[in-house]
Every structure is written in structure tokens, then in C-alpha cells.
Structure 1
Amino acid sequence: MDLISDTETLAEFCRSCAGSPYVTVDTEFLRERTYYAQLCLVQLARPGKGPETAVLIDALAEGLSLEPLYELFRDESIVKVFHAARQDLEIFQVNAGVLPKPFFDTQVAAMVCGYGDQVGYETLVRRIANASIDKSSRFTDWSHRPLSDAQKTYAIADVTHLRQIYESLAARLKKSGRAAWVEEELAVLMDPETYRTDPDEAWMRVKTRSAAPKFLAALKELARFRETAAQSRNVPRNRIFKDDALLELAANRPASLDELGKSRLLLREARKGDIADGILAAIAAAKALPKSEIPAPREAPARKPGSEALSELLRVLLKARADAEGVAQRLVASSADLDRLASEDDPDVPALEGWRMEVFGKDALRLKRGEIALSAQGGEIRVVPLG
């Protein structure tokens, strides 16, 4: 199987997709050595049988423009089908400012159709397409050329079996009337803001127990500098300095190159040059940060007496309702949602909105108000009205 490596051949295949109800899409990329994902390969298939219905696109080919693919993405008469699409969509949004529309994610659809939490592609291939995939090429170097036959076979399977999976799930959603549930979930993935990384919020990803204002101010400014430096150099943020070094710097707040050189955890390369200058500048900026801009300590919300027991009851209710509806528990409500439901009078959680409210939220509120109880009957959990 040859790779498409020129723009005209790609355009010709994309034109052949005109009039198709859908196309299936996947990517192979590398991210271990860069901040932004390096797109290496795009797999694309249209409905039908035969080798001419599926292609591999060499995203690294010199002179190749992916614009024909992006034009296909913009064609709203054709559904673009992915599996677990978040990272794929991020690549297209970051690289070209393009998100495929309309869009369908078979992982989300499978959760709605009762296949479990974040079901893997291989599981759906086995259960729906009655096939298997050789996974030995999954973690190979997709930037190396030429690709092996095993790599090509693995890559093309990611879009050929996806056709049958999509058709099966779409039919089930239509029959159950739950297509709108999937669309509601996909709205977040179709928002460009989902893929924007704000350096001002980078500190929130760092785990810390300290609530000291000076420490938090330094943490915020150092994390901001690290994120900006990683983006501008297109390297992983840990290549600038790791989290443990970040916490050490925020705690010690060195004010000179000499003090910076005494750091135990900072890489040697970061103790000089632009990185060292950036660290010292970030610490100086933290000292001058107005109180209104110093991060507030991230404290766990206070829990009401008895809320832990109510959380456990809500977990039982969630399992019962999810099993009854044939939908993944994780899609209905997270553990944090349940804790907030138990602890807060008026929690703003997804479990109390849209289809989740009908499936689980109404009964959760009734359980919280003491209007229903849970009973084990014949190995099943049942809702029992009270009063």
C-alpha cells in the first residue's frame, strides 16, 4: 500500500468522497519530544469495499498540502467519523484552525450504547466487526520512512473497521432516540477553546499542598514562564524544568544566578542562559504581583455531616440507573459530581442537566430529599418511593 505524498492525489481521493454520507478518519503522531503533536500520518476511508476506498496520507511528505483534506472537513454534507478523537482534533485545530463538521466519535457513542467507560477501538472491532487487530505496531516511530508493511496494515485498519462500527452505532442511536445525547457530548470537542492552552492557568496543573501567598504567586509566574517557553521552543514543558524543580523554585525563590545554581532539582542547562533569566524574571514578577492576582489556595469544599454516606448511596443509584439505561456510568456522572450533589445545596454539575437529568439527576435529587429509598431485590437495586 503506497502513501499519498502529493497534493493532487490527495485532492483526487477527497473528490471521490463527494456524495458519501460519511468518511472515517484517524491519525498517527508523535509527541514525546515536542510540545505540539507532530502529525505523521492521516488515515482516511469512505464507504465501500476494495483497496481504493481507503488511503494513507503521508503528512511528512515534502510539498504536500493537507488543504484538500481540510476542505473535506468543511463539507457539512459528510459526517467525519473518529474514535477517541480529542487528540486528533487538537492537531487539526492547532495546525490549521480547522475542526471537522459534522463530527461523530464512536467512543462517545459506544458509551451511550452501553459498551462501558471509554471503550477501546480494539474492543469495538472485536465486538461489532468480529475482527481483530495486530497491535504490535501501535507504539512504533511513525515519523520514520519508509513505513513497514505491518505499520501500514495497522494504520489502515483504524479506518476500515471504523466504517462498520460507525454504521452499527449510528443505527442503534437512531433506534433508541439517543443521537442527541451524543451530540451534546461532542459539543465540547467541537469548541476551539477546548484546545487552547493558557499559560496563565498552567499553575493549576501542578499538585501542591502549600497555601502560602508568596509560594502561590511564584508558582503561578514560574508555571506561566515554563509554559510559554515550552510553546515557543516546541518542546515538552518538562524539558524546561520538571514539576519537582518548579515547586522547589517556588518555595526558595532564588533572586540571583548564584542562588539559582544551588538548586538541587533544576537541570544544569536551566541554570544559565535564557531559561535562568526567565526563572529569575518570573520570581521577580511574582514579588510584584498584586494581591488580587495571587492564586487562591485550592481547598477541598467543606462536606456536610452525613454527606459521605449520601455520596455512597448516590453511587449505588448511579450504577442502578446506568445499568437500567445501558449507558456508561462515567458518562452520566463523575465521582466529583456525586460528592458535590451530596454536599452542596444547589450544585452546578452536568449530572443535573440535559439527558443526564432525566436518566439520573431527578432520582438523585429525590434520594437527597428523602423521597425515595434503594432496595435490593433479586440481585438488582430498585428505587422505592417513600411517603
Structure 2
Amino acid sequence: MRTLTTTEELAAFCDEAAGAPYVTVDTEFLRERTYYSKLCLVQLAFPGVGDSNAVLLDPLVDGLSLDPLIALFRNTNVVKVFHAARQDLEIFYVDHGVIPEPLFDTQVAAMVCGFGEQVGYETLVKRISKASLDKSSRFTDWSRRPLTDAQKKYALADVTHLRDIYEHLAAELERSGRARWVAEEIAVLTDPETYITRPENAWERVKTRSTSPRFLAIVQALAAFRETYAQSKNIPRTRVFKDDALSELASTKPMTLDDLGRSRLLLREARKGPIAEGILAAVKAAQELPKDELPKPDTSRDQLQVNPALADLLRVLLKARTESSGVAARLIAPAADLDALAAGLRDVKALSGWRQEVFGADALRLCEGKLALAVKGRDVEVIEL
């Protein structure tokens, strides 16, 4: 198990990898105590047998530069293969401003190739590589040095078996003509907007019971302050204050430190100092916001007049299309989209791109009364009217 600890070693490996058709990549990181992920290990491999052409890269070594790896990520002649890539890509985008391209995500490809919803790496290793993984090191502290042999073996397996998985799935996509489907999904992963967290939009993740515009304005201001503060201090947003405390503050509208002291849910550290000042300033600003600038909740789907019979038929059609195509149902159309279709809405993902081919076109004809469903044995047949 070779570990790269110098920039020169990394550059030599990347020069070799640049001549390969693809390189498999994985990372180990910590995020429990920080806002941004701390990169602790990078695993890399290009075509070979066993551990050949596979290395571990230690980014925690003083003086080591990741520039050769970043250059490899920008080399469009080499496909970069990840499994469930989103968190890995976020690290490289936030730390180095790069998104590896061209990109292949084996989890996305596996869902398109009939392996089910959000299939795990271990499952693919068993089903494609016919091997098993030792997952005993999964929850270890990857920032501690030295790494044990068990940790190294575990980490390296995440890119060595990935070579077999990639080659199998790429061949299946070529055979089925579905490579374009995967490309549509990966476009989201290669969009920088996927990895940008804007404080002014942070309130949209907070679940609240009230839809009062003034209440939502306070939620918006508090969530924006929390996000900005957490980013500036590189601490988890829950270390500033949690969602339940945020909702309580939006309800009680504290104006003084004494008001904050009466909070039941606010952390002790947030009742004084810069966090307390930020809370009071956010509440005050939201209270003073003109009515025409108050946020409005998205209620477009709250009062949908869903046709329950049609919704049930759409679910039957989706099940039939899932079975015939082998594509995971949730990837094609989540339940919310089916209800929206049954209520007459047409701005849903299921009616665009490859989903239109697999399900959307028939779903529209079903809604318009242009086709019917019939049961033949255990199968559902689509009948044109």
C-alpha cells in the first residue's frame, strides 16, 4: 500500500494517470466539528490489477501541494470516477475551486442500470466485483496519524474495486444507450451552484409551522446570520444555535440580552458576545422590514386539488415503467411529482430529458385520457386509446 507524502511523488503518479482512460477517486474527511469538510486522505487508482496503480495521498503532510492532482482533475482526457460524488466534489470545489471533469458517478449510473435507489458501494462490490469489504474502519478518525494498516486497506479498497464497477457500468450504459441519461444527472454535480451555500437562502432549509410573513422574515434574518457566522468561524451551524432555538427566537422576538436569557432552547454561549449581538440585530432588522419586502412562503403546492384516482394510476404506470426499464422509481419521479401531475401541474422534472422518454410522455397521455392501463397476469400493460 503506497502512500504519497511529497509533491514530487504526487506529480509522478499524476503523470502516469494522465495516460490512462480513467482514474478512480475517493476521499476520507471529517466534518463533525467544522462547517467545511477537512480533507484527511485521498485515494486514487487507474487501470490495473489488485493494488497496482493504486495509491493513498496524505494531504495533511506539511509542504505537500495538491496542484498536480488539481491539474489531473482538469485534464479532460481522463475520466474521473467517484461513487456518490457530491461530498467529495464539494471539498475540491471549496478548497481549490475545481470540479473534476469529465466526471462519472457510479451511484448515479447504478440507479440507471437497475441496481436500485441510492445503491451503496459495498453492494456494488458484492454484485459486480464478487468481493467483500472490511468496513471496520468506516467510522475512524481519519485526521489522526499514523494511519493503521486496517485503515489503509479499507481506504484503498474504495478505489481498487471501483475500477471494476466503473468498467461494468460504462459497458452497460453503452449497450443500453443510456449514457446520455447519466450525463443529464451528472450535470447537476458539475454545476458550481450545487456547492455554494448562500446565507440569504439558508432559511429555506428551516422547517417551521407558521407561514406569517413577519415570522418568516425573522427566520430568514436569523438563518442568514447563523450561516454567515458559522462560515466565518468554520464551525457547524448547530454550534451557533439549532433550528428549534431559531424557531423559538422567531416567535419570542427578543430585543434585549435579558430577553435572550429567558430562551429555553438557546445555547449558553449564544446568550452573550457576538452571537447574542447578531441575534438581536437580525431580529431588529426583520421587525423593521417594510411589508412589501417580507418573504412569501411557497404555497404553490399546498392547496393542490389532487385527483386521487389519477394519482393512483400514475403510481401504477410508474411501477410498470420502473420494472420494464430497470431504473429506480424515485430517480424517475418522486411521489410529490406524481401528485403534482394528478393536480394538473406540468412543471415537474419527470416531464423533461430522459425521464420524458421513460415515463413522462406516457404519464401525460394517461392524464389526458389517451391511454389506459390493464393487468395481464403479473404485468401491467399500457393500452393506447
| TM-score category of the 2 structures, normalised to the smaller one | over 0.9
Residue in 1 that maps onto 2:313: 313
Name 2:112's counterpart in structure 1: 112
Give the corresponding residue for 1:385.
384
Distance 1:51 1:120 in 2: 22
Match of 1:254 in 2: 254
Q: Which secondary structure state, in structure 2, belongs to the residue aligned with residue 88 of structure 1?
A: helix
1:244 alignment counterpart: 244
Counterpart residue type for residue 348 of structure 1: D
CA–CA distance in 2 between the matches of 1:309 and 1:51? 56
Question: What SS does the aligned partner of 1:98 have?
Answer: coil
**273-282 or 376-385, which deviates more:** 376-385
| 1:136 match: secondary structure | coil
Question: For the residues of structure 1 that align with 2:204 and 2:312, how far apart are their CA atoms?
Answer: 28
Residue in 1 aligned with 2:302?
301
Percent of residue pairs identical: 66
Q: How big is each residue's C-alpha offset from its partner over 1:196-228, in whole Å with a ceiling of 9 and x where there is no partner?
A: 001101111111110222211111100100010
Corresponding position: 1:268 with 2:272: no
CA distance in 2, matches of 1:50, 1:355: 36
Please state whether the residue corresponding to 1:363 is helix, strand or coil. helix
Residue 298 of structure 1 deviates from its aligned partner by: 3.8
Corresponding residue for residue 98 of structure 2: 98
CA distance in 1, matches of 2:334, 2:287: 38
Alignment of 1:268-347 (within 5 A): 268-299=268-299, 300-304=301-305, 307-345=307-345, 347=346
Matches within 5 A, 1:118-197: 118-197=118-197
* Aligned twin of 1:16: 16
Contact residue 202 and residue 220 of structure 2 kept, 8 A: yes
- 1:33 aligns with 33
Per-residue deviation, residues 227-257 of structure 1 (Å, max 9, x unmatched): 1000001111000001111011000111011
Amino acid at match of 1:332: I
SS in 2 for 1:137: coil
- The alignment covers a number of residue pairs equal to 384
Match of 2:82 in 1: 82
SS at 2:340 equivalent: helix
Give the TM-score normalised by structure 1. 0.97
SS in 1 for 2:65: coil
User: Hey, what's the Cα distance between the residues in 1 that align with 2:239 and 2:137?
Assistant: 27
Q: Which residue of 2 aligns with 1:375?
A: 374
**1:112-143 CA-partner distances (Å, limit 9, x unpaired):** 11111111101110000000101111111111
| Displacement of 1:363 | 0.7
2:163 match: secondary structure: helix
Partners of 2:266 and 2:91 lie apart in 1 by 31
Question: Aligned equivalents of 2:360 and 2:343: distance in 1?
Answer: 15
Task: Kindly provide the CA deviation profile for residues 162-210 of structure 1, in whole angstroms up to 9, marking residues without a partner as x.
Answer: 0000001101111111111111110010000110001101111111110
* Alpha-carbon distance in structure 2 between the residues aligned to 1:311 and 1:91: 40
Contact 2:51 2:160 in 1 (8 A): no
Match of 1:357 in 2: 356
| Letter aligned with residue 149 of structure 1 | D
Counterpart CA distance in 1 for 2:164 and 2:202 is 40
TM-score (norm 2): 0.97
CA contact (8 A) 2:73 2:101 kept: yes
For structure 1, which segment, 221-230 or 287-296, has the greater mean C-alpha deviation from structure 2 after superposition?
Answer: 287-296
Rounded Cα–Cα distance in structure 2 between residues aligned with 1:66 and 1:52: 22
Residue segments in structure 2 that go unaligned for 5+ positions in a row: none
- Distance in 2 separating the partners of 1:293 and 1:136: 53
RMSD of the alignment, in Å?
A: 1.2
* Cα separation, 1, equivalents of 2:197 and 2:175: 39
Larger displacement relative to structure 2 (294-303 or 89-98): 294-303
Residues 130, 52 of structure 1: alpha-carbon distance in 2 compared, 3 angstrom cutoff? closer
| 1:52, distance to aligned residue in structure 2 (A) | 4.0
- Consecutive unaligned residues of structure 1, counting only runs of 5 or more, are none
Shift of 1:87: 0.5
Distance in 1 between residues matched to 2:196 and 2:63, nearest whole Å:
28
Give SS of 1:375's match: strand
Q: CA deviation at 1:2?
A: 4.3
Letter in 1 for 2:16: S
Deviation at 1:3, TM superposition (A): 2.3
After TM superposition, give the deviation of residue 50 of structure 1 in Å. Answer: 5.2
Deviation string 1:295-351 (CA, Å, 9 cap, x unpaired) is 2134343222x5222222111111101110121111111112111111124x21111
CA distance in 2, matches of 1:242, 1:215: 17
Contact 2:6–2:64, Cα closer than 8 Å, also in 1 = yes
CA distance in 1, matches of 2:135, 2:50: 23
Distance in 2 (CA, whole Å) between partners of 1:360 and 1:42 is 39
Counterpart in the other structure of 1:226: 226
Q: Secondary structure at the match of 1:51?
A: coil
Aligned residue for 1:247, secondary structure, equals helix
Q: CA deviation at 1:49?
A: 2.2
Paired residues of 2:50 and 2:160 also in contact (CA < 8 A): no
Distance 1:329 1:366 in 2: 19
**How far apart are the structure 1 equivalents of 2:308 and 2:27?**
43
